[in-house]
Amino acid sequence: MENPNFILTVEDLSVSFDGFKAVDGLSFYIEPNECRVIIGPNGAGKTTVLDLICGRTRATAGSIEFKGAELTRMREDQIVHAGVGRKFQTPSVYEDLTVFENLEISYPRGHTVFGALTFRRDGDVDARIREVAETIFLGDFLQERAAILSHGQKQWLEIGMLLIQDPQLMMLDEPVAGMSVAERKKTAELLNRIIRDRAVIVIEHDMGFVADIATRVTVMHQGKRLSEGSMAHVQADPKVVEVYLGH
């Protein structure tokens, strides 16, 4: 399957931890502007796939090519600068810093030691941070410490931190987990707005939410790809029903 239009090409990707194959010969391809949702039972290797793409875990075999660059050989921060952003499953924000400062750290400038020492908060930075804060419903919380935010607000803040990086590939691990119904609805709106001009990979269990945002769905099981296609296609796939949706 050769298609120069793919932004991300994952081929024969495998990783094993002490002999246990968490991801086993997985291949998939992401187009620019596509929203791919990965679903599957617990332990299927979904989060590990994201870990492999962003460099947190090193692949045992296989290749991950992003815009022509081989990610498996790059350091985490280099992968970020290549244009890949990642949100973690449990909200991961800087509790001791304000919402403004949290977003500022992700602002794509001054990421070297020297750059950080000489970084100036100019009008551009300020305007961009305010804009993103409005988008993630935290416009009134800029000067609050992140520790006081609710679980849902922390999730939004982390999404905002990704948004300000403006990655071409955004990876979200269970972005609506642990949210109230109202927060879930707002998050779906938020994601629908921000996934438009970029490629997105989402891991999610909430089928209503998946149907809402997915361009295509990949179903994983025991580290392998079980099925792939539109939401309707995978929902009708008997293998998928048996291992996952049926339960």
Partner 1 sequence: MTKTSFLTRSEAVGLAILALIIFVAFPVMLDDFRLNLFGKYLSYAFVAIGLVLCWGAGGILSLGQGVFFGLGGYCMAMFLKLEASTPEATAIQSTPGIPDFMDWNQISALPIWWQPFNSFAFTLIAIFVVPAAFAFVIGYAMFRRRVSGVYFAIITQAIAAIATILIVGQQGYTGGVNGITDLRTLMGWDIRPDGAKTVLYFVNAILLFGCLVVAMAIRKSKFGRVLVAMRDAEDRVRFSGYDVASFKIFIFCVGAMMAAVGGAMFTLQVGFMSPTIVGIVPSIEMVIFCAVGGRHSLMGAVYGALLVNWAKTTFSESFPELWLFGLGALFIAVVMAFPNGLAGLFDDYIKPRLRGWRQTPATAPQPAE
Q: Which is nearer to partner 1, 102 or 227 (CB)?
A: 102
β-pair type (61-66, 8-17) = antiparallel
- Min CB(92)–partner 1 separation in Å: 4
The H helix count followed by the E strand count for the chain is 10, 10
Residues binding partner 1 (CB under 8 A): 54, 56, 75-77, 80-81, 85-86, 88, 92-97, 100-102, 104-106, 108, 110-113, 116-119, 121, 126, 142-143, 158, 161, 165
Q: Which is nearer to partner 1, 147 or 236 (CB)?
A: 147
Q: Which is nearer to partner 1, 12 or 96 (CB)?
A: 96
List, as one string, the DSSP characters of 187-242. Answer: HHHHHHHHTTTSEEEEE---HHHHHHH-SEEEEEETTEEEEEE-HHHHHH-HHHII
Neighbours of 54 (CB within 10 A): 20
- Min CB(95)–partner 1 separation in Å: 5
Q: Which is nearer to partner 1, 32 or 110 (CB)?
A: 110
Q: Which is nearer to partner 1, 49 or 93 (CB)?
A: 93
- Min CB(179)–partner 1 separation in Å: 19
Residues 6 or more apart whose Cβ sits within 8 Å of residue 144 = 98, 99
- Min CB(237)–partner 1 separation in Å: 33
C-alpha span between 126 and 104 (Å, rounded) = 9
DSSP 8-state class, residue 40: -
- Min CB(175)–partner 1 separation in Å: 15
